[in-house]
């Protein structure tokens, strides 16, 4: 670093950033390398539903810019603390500001924010709106949804202390574990009957609150059979930590079988209750 | 330098300043009664500081208990209800009984000194502020002996209003909000009037120290939002006890309404806690870089800009509730916009260091630590503002990490910088530098250890406010790291407390101006006399004390460093 008299503006705009650019590039590379592999450590969970994947991609982009900005600030700070320490820089330059520089970085910061906002809004629809793709042929064959794009299965999710209940079309319901067909866009209507809860299966997309008196909407589309777990994300009382949620993605024909079995079980139980009531009433 | 004439000659004041007219002279009250009956802003500031540090210890122990519980999967140290009580007490304590009062302490002590006033505009109201704050703390902690609140510091309805939590802890929480809220409102009025009317002659609006600007912006936010939360918790109180139905959906109320009202207060509250921190950094950096602040007007204007924008971003705490997309998009954009004035401040602070002559004393360490950690917290704030991303990380440990980066690394680091910077003024003695730097490194490393890893916990699905997790969740290692970090952070804070206790009696004598400061508090002896200044100098720039040093140097022909 030269010690001659340097124009303050040159010093601020050329010297620090020159080193900073190289190091931020290195930092960005370091950040990018593990991004692909590290869902859950550096990125949100994904791999269950397209909306979770799209959120993770959006997050990855923002993370890269965040990393660059943070690295830039830290490098500039460490450089300033080291280069301009008392022993090495005994006389401080008396600079009170630089209008052009200040306007410049305000515009640059605003520009970055505008870019991130526009990018996010562009990705918004694909994350928010239920996937329009046609259901898998097996699902159409099983009679779960009509053929063609834009069809979905609606399942109602009802939170209560400390259990999730699911209502399927045709009056079937289950507790704790939701069973959902793969290859079908599933729309969820989420509500609560007591306090506020929040429905969250990280691999199946973002969370949505279950508020009494309101119905919130979200969706997922599972492509690979498997069990996806999550838990209530809004403090709902003493057993909040044990309010687990689970979605089991199964092949469409197995979903229909399960629905029938569940319907039979419910009918059986209802009849049992009716018999007991009649018995005790008489 | 311009200041060549006598800066402090009596009789040069051209503008009448409000003065106290004494009709009789009372003997000063000594001993504990003197402290209880005091209306001296410096004593009130010291009371605030001591009380806030005591509550910080309590809130810190609560945090460590929670971290200990979470150190391993399926831990049975705390029961679920005990854990919920601790998280509620910890959050409420840190917000209402620690961070806000710490800024009240610092502002009380230094604002009148910085602007060359003899006291606050309303000294008795100032005392009332403190005693209301203490009363709020006592009422709140009184609940510990009955049934502590357990609905979280946000006390969402219907959990807080319905039949879900036994006992009356939530009422204690409501009274905490009321008492500390009235205390803050009175304080805000007092600071506004003081800064508007009691400045030294010559101190125009563009010569007000930046810390005072930040206190002024904070006061406006308090005046705008605390009445709202006071009304909100009053509605909650009548819901709880008198059968009204503002927030209970079972009889026509709205649980979502409570969230809107709470966060209309709750988000500005974040800036109420962090703006004075910005002010402290803007005071500390120029003094320790021996260089004027870079872009005074931009920093003052960004404080006002942040205060204004902070009232337009509340629903970003509600991105997972059923809101229409246009509302979500509005609050996403407004929340992102607030990053611009904040970013401008950070760049101005960095530019202040460039080409300075940096004195590596403890206040500068904490200010530099603030810059690193607050920047990270600010950046994760932008990520959270993008609501599709927020849907994944909201109410998870990612958010816990985010707001601790802003409030612990931000507000508490700056409070530490303020303590090390102004302790010599308050007591006449320096804090020990070696203990100070040890405390800084323990806090910095401990903080990163505690909270950096929590981003990952949140991303991998760990919700906040859970008292336990099963071992199959795979969060054990990260939580253990976080807990170890929390203890290191705790030790770091204790080192500073020990430093304060030791230095009160044994610290090196400071003299009036140990740091070669820029502002008027360094013009008077340390500790200042009850009336603050024998003469109030005329202010000719934003760095009046520096002008005075130069004037003295010119008169005595002794070379003064800048």
Average pLDDT across chain B, whole number = 93
pLDDT confidence of residue B22: 72
CB A193 within 8 A of CB B255: no
Q: pLDDT tens across B397-438, in order?
A: 999 999 999 999 899 999 999 999 999 999 999 999 999 999
pLDDT confidence of residue B14: 55
Q: Are B354 and A241 within 8 A, CB to CB?
A: no
CATH of A137-280, one of 2.60.40.420, 3.40.50.150, 3.40.50.2300, 3.30.360.10: 2.60.40.420
Of B158, B344, B380, the CB nearest to A212: B158
pLDDT confidence of residue A35: 44
pLDDT confidence of residue B8: 47
HEC string of B208-240 equals: CCHHHHHHHHHHHHHHHHHHHHHHHHHHHHHHH
pLDDT of residue A4 exceeding 90 = no
pLDDT confidence of residue B277: 97
- Closest alpha carbon to B212 in B108, B129, B287: B108
- Closest alpha carbon to B425 in B291, B527, B342: B527
Q: Are A92 and B355 within 8 A, CB to CB?
A: yes
Among chain A residues, the shortest Cα distance to B165 is held by: A237
Q: Is B239 on the interface with A (CB under 8 A)?
A: no
pLDDT confidence band for B478 (50 / 70 / 90) = very high
The sheet carrying A185-192 orders its strands as: A173-175, A163-167, A153-160, A185-192, A216-221
Longest dimension (CA), chain B: 80
A with B: how many residue pairs have Cβ under 8 Å apart? 275
Q: Is B355 on the interface with A (CB under 8 A)?
A: yes
Q: Are B344 and A105 within 8 A, CB to CB?
A: yes
- Determine the length of chain B: 562
pLDDT confidence of residue A23: 54
What are φ and ψ of residue A4, in 5° steps? -70, 170
CA B352 to chain centre: 23
Using an 8 Å CB-CB cutoff, list chain B residues near A58.
386, 388-389
pLDDT confidence band for B29 (50 / 70 / 90) = confident
Q: Is B255 on the interface with A (CB under 8 A)?
A: yes
User: Rg of chain B's alpha carbons, rounded to an integer?
Assistant: 24
Q: Mean of the pLDDT values across residues B341-365? A: 96
Among chain A residues, the shortest Cα distance to B346 is held by: A73
Q: How far apart are CA B106 and CA B46, in angstroms?
A: 9
User: Which one-letter DSSP state was computed for residue B397?
Assistant: H
Q: For an interface test with B, which of A53, A64, A96, A158 has the most B Cβ atoms less than 10 Å from its Cβ?
A: A96
A38/chain B closest Cα distance in angstroms? 10
Q: Mean of the pLDDT values across residues A191-216? A: 96
Q: Are B339 and A95 within 8 A, CB to CB?
A: no
pLDDT confidence band for A3 (50 / 70 / 90) = very low
- Closest alpha carbon to B392 in A62, A170, A107: A62
The sheet carrying A244-250 orders its strands as: A177-181, A244-250, A226-231
For the entire predicted model, the pTM comes to: 0.91
pLDDT of residue A1 exceeding 70 = no
pLDDT confidence band for B1 (50 / 70 / 90) = very low
CB B184 within 8 A of CB B100: yes
pLDDT confidence of residue B3: 42
pLDDT confidence of residue A172: 96
Helix axes B413-427, B362-385, angle to 10 degrees: 150
Q: Mean of the pLDDT values across residues B374-390? A: 96
Q: Is B61 on the interface with A (CB under 8 A)?
A: no
pLDDT confidence band for A15 (50 / 70 / 90) = very low
Torsion of CA A214, A220, A225, A230, to 10 degrees: -50
Q: Is B66 on the interface with A (CB under 8 A)?
A: no
Q: Mean of the pLDDT values across residues A260-265? A: 96
Q: How far apart are CA B142 and CA B478, in angstroms?
A: 35
Q: Are B466 and A231 within 8 A, CB to CB?
A: yes
CB B268 within 8 A of CB B225: yes
Q: Are A92 and B158 within 8 A, CB to CB?
A: no
Q: Are A217 and B322 within 8 A, CB to CB?
A: yes
Q: What is the ipTM of this complex?
A: 0.91
Burial of A173 (0-12, 13-18, 19+ CB in 10 A): middle
Torsion of CA B457, B463, B469, B471, to 10 degrees: -40
User: Rg of chain A's alpha carbons, rounded to an integer?
Assistant: 28
Q: How many CB atoms lie within 10 A of CB B324?
A: 8
Using an 8 Å CB-CB cutoff, list chain A residues near B379.
66, 69-70
Using an 8 Å CB-CB cutoff, list chain A residues near B320.
198, 206-209, 216, 233
Q: How far apart are CA B98 and CA B89, in angstroms?
A: 12
Q: Is the peptide bond before B503 cis (omega within 30 degrees of 0)?
A: no
How far, in Å, are B7, B155, B314, B487 from residue A117 at the CA level?
52, 32, 18, 39
Half-sphere exposure in the Cβ direction for A178 (13 Å, CA)? 35
CA A228 to chain centre: 14
CB B541 within 8 A of CB B207: yes
Q: How far apart are CA B249 and CA B39, in angstroms?
A: 47
Two structure tokens written together for B106: 């610092």
Of A58, A161, A231, the CB nearest to B389: A58
pLDDT confidence of residue B19: 64
- Checking phi first, is residue A150 left (phi over 0); if not, alpha (psi -120 to 50) or beta? left
Contact residues for A274 (Cβ-Cβ < 8 A; gap 6+)? none
Is B396 strand, coil or helix? strand
Q: Are A120 and B386 within 8 A, CB to CB?
A: yes
CB A90 within 8 A of CB B357: yes
Q: Which residues pair with B463 in a beta bridge?
A: B396
Q: Are A84 and B353 within 8 A, CB to CB?
A: yes
Q: In percent, how much of chain A has pLDDT > 90?
A: 83
pLDDT confidence of residue A27: 55
pLDDT confidence band for A280 (50 / 70 / 90) = confident
B209/chain A closest Cα distance in angstroms? 14
Burial of B13 (0-12, 13-18, 19+ CB in 10 A): middle
DSSP string, B434-502: HHHHHHHHHHHHHHHHHHHHHHHHHHTT-BSS-S---GGG--HHHHHHHHHHHHHHHHHHHHHHHHHHH
Helices (H), ranges, B119-168: 123-142
Using an 8 Å CB-CB cutoff, list chain A residues near B294.
95-98
Q: Mean of the pLDDT values across residues B98-123? A: 96
Residues B520-541 as b or e (16 or more Cβ within 10 Å = b):
bbbbbebbbeeebbeebbbbbb
pLDDT of residue A14 exceeding 50 = no
Two structure tokens written together for B242: 């008198």
CB B186 within 8 A of CB B129: yes
Q: Are A196 and B162 within 8 A, CB to CB?
A: no
Average pLDDT across chain A, whole number = 88
- Closest alpha carbon to B280 in B200, B209, B376: B209
Q: How far apart are CA B182 and CA B104, in angstroms?
A: 13
Q: B13-22, B81-90, B406-415: which range is least confident on average?
A: B13-22
Q: B10-14, B101-105, B367-371, B401-405: which range is least confident on average?
A: B10-14
Which tops the pLDDT comparison, B230 or A17? B230
Is B17 strand, coil or helix? coil
Q: How many CB atoms lie within 10 A of CB B272?
A: 27
pLDDT of residue A13 exceeding 60 = no
Burial of A63 (0-12, 13-18, 19+ CB in 10 A): buried
pLDDT confidence of residue B560: 55
Of A54, A95, A101, the CB nearest to B291: A95
Using an 8 Å CB-CB cutoff, list chain A residues near B149.
none
Q: How far apart are CA B506 and CA A48, in angstroms?
A: 63
Q: How many CB atoms lie within 10 A of CB B135?
A: 17
Contact residues for B455 (Cβ-Cβ < 8 A; gap 6+)? B380, B397, B398, B401, B402
DSSP string, B267-297: HHHHHHHHHHHHHHHHHHHHHHHTS--TTHH
pLDDT confidence of residue A222: 96
Q: Are B358 and A208 within 8 A, CB to CB?
A: no
Helix axes A50-83, B362-385, angle to 10 degrees: 160
Using an 8 Å CB-CB cutoff, list chain A residues near B386.
58, 62, 116-117, 120
Q: pLDDT tens across A26-54, in order?
A: 555 555 554 444 567 899 999 999 999 99
pLDDT confidence of residue A279: 82
* Helix (H) or strand (E) run with residue B46 in it: helix B41-70
CB A120 within 8 A of CB B385: no
Two structure tokens written together for A138: 């097996």
Q: How far apart are CA B287 and CA B453, in angstroms?
A: 34
Two structure tokens written together for A7: 């124009």
Tally: H helices and E strands in chain B: 18, 0
Q: Mean of the pLDDT values across residues A252-259? A: 96
């Amino acid at each position: 670093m030269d010690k001659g008299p340097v124009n303050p503006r040159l010093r601020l705009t050329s010297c620090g950033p020159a080193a900073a650019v190289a190091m931020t590039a290195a930092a960005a590379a370091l950040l990018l390398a593990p991004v692909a592999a590290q869902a859950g450590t550096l990125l949100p969970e994904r791999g269950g539903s397209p909306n979770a994947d799209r959120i993770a991609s959006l997050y990855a982009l923002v993370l890269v810019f965040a990393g660059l900005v943070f690295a830039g600030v830290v490098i500039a700070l460490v450089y300033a603390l080291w280069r301009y320490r008392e022993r090495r820089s005994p006389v401080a330059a008396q600079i009170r500001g630089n209008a052009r520089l200040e306007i410049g970085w305000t515009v640059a910061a605003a520009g970055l924010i505008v870019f991130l906002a526009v990018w996010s809004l562009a990705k918004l629809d694909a994350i928010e709106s239920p996937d329009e793709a046609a259901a898998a042929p097996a699902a159409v064959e099983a009679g779960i949804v009509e053929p063609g794009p834009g069809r979905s299965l609606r399942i109602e999710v009802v939170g209560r202390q400390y259990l999730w209940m699911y209502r399927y079309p045709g009056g079937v319901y289950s507790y704790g574990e939701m069973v959902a067909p793969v290859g079908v866009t599933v729309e969820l209507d989420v509500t609560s009957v007591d306090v506020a809860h929040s429905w969250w299966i990280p691999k199946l997309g973002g969370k949505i609150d279950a508020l009494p008196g309101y119905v919130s909407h979200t969706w997922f589309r599972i492509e690979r059979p498997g069990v996806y777990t999550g838990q209530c994300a809004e403090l709902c009382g003493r057993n909040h930590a044990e309010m687990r949620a689970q979605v089991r993605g199964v092949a469409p024909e197995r979903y229909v079988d399960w629905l029938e079995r569940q319907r039979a079980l419910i009918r059986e139980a209802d009849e049992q209750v009716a018999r007991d009531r009649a018995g005790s009433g008489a | 330098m311009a200041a060549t004439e006598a800066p402090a000659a009596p009789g040069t004041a051209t503008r009448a300043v409000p003065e106290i007219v004494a009709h009789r002279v009372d003997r000063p009250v000594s001993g504990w009664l003197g402290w209880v009956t005091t209306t001296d802003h410096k004593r009130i500031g010291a009371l605030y500081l001591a009380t806030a540090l005591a509550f910080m210890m309590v809130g810190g122990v609560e945090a460590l208990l929670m971290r200990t519980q979470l150190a391993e999967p399926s831990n049975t140290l705390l029961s679920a209800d005990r854990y919920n009580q601790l998280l509620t007490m910890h959050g409420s304590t840190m917000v209402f009984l620690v961070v806000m009062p710490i800024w009240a302490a610092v502002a009380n002590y230094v604002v009148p000194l910085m602007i060359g006033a003899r006291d606050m505009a309303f000294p008795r109201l100032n005392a009332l502020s403190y005693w209301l704050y203490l009363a709020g703390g006592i009422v709140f902690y009184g609940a510990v002996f009955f049934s502590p609140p357990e609905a979280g510091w946000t006390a969402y309805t219907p959990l807080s209003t319905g039949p879900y939590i036994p006992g009356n802890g939530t009422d204690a929480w409501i009274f905490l909000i009321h008492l500390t809220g009235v205390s803050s409102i009175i304080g805000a009025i007092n600071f506004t009037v003081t800064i508007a009317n009691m400045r030294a002659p010559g101190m125009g609006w563009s010569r007000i120290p930046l810390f005072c600007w930040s206190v002024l912006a904070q006061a406006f936010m308090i005046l705008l939002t605390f009445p709202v939360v006071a009304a909100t918790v009053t509605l909650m109180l009548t819901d709880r006890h008198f059968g009204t139905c503002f927030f209970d959906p079972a009889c026509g109320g709205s649980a979502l309404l409570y969230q809107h009202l709470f966060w209309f207060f709750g988000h500005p509250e974040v800036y109420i806690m962090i703006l004075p921190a910005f002010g402290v950094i803007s005071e500390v950096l120029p003094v320790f870089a021996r260089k004027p602040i870079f872009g005074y007007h931009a920093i003052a204007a960004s404080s006002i800009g942040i205060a204004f924008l902070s009232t337009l971003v509340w629903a970003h705490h509600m991105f997972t509730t059923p809101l229409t997309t246009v509302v979500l998009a509005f609050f996403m954009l407004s929340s992102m916009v607030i990053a611009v004035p904040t970013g401008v401040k950070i760049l101005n602070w960095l530019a202040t260091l460039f080409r300075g002559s940096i004195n590596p004393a403890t206040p500068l360490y904490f200010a530099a630590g603030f810059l690193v950690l607050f920047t990270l917290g600010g950046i994760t704030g932008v990520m959270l503002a993008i609501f599709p991303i927020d849907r994944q990380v909201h109410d998870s440990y990612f958010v816990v990490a985010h707001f601790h980066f802003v409030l612990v690394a931000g507000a508490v680091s700056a409070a530490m910088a303020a303590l090390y910077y102004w302790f010599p003024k308050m007591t006449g003695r320096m804090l020990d530098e070696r203990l100070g730097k040890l405390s800084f490194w323990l806090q910095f490393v401990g903080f990163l250890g505690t909270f950096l890893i929590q981003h990952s916990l949140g991303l991998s699905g760990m919700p906040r406010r859970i008292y336990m997790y099963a071992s199959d969740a795979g969060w054990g290692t990260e939580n253990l790291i976080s807990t170890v970090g929390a203890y290191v952070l705790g030790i770091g804070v204790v080192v500073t407390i020990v430093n304060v206790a030791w230095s009160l009696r044994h610290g090196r004598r400071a003299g009036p101006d140990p740091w070669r400061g820029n502002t008027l508090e360094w013009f008077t002896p340390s500790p200042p006399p009850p009336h603050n200044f024998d003469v109030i100098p005329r202010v000719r720039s934003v760095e009046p004390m520096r002008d005075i040093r130069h004037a003295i140097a010119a008169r005595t022909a002794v070379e003064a460093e800048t």
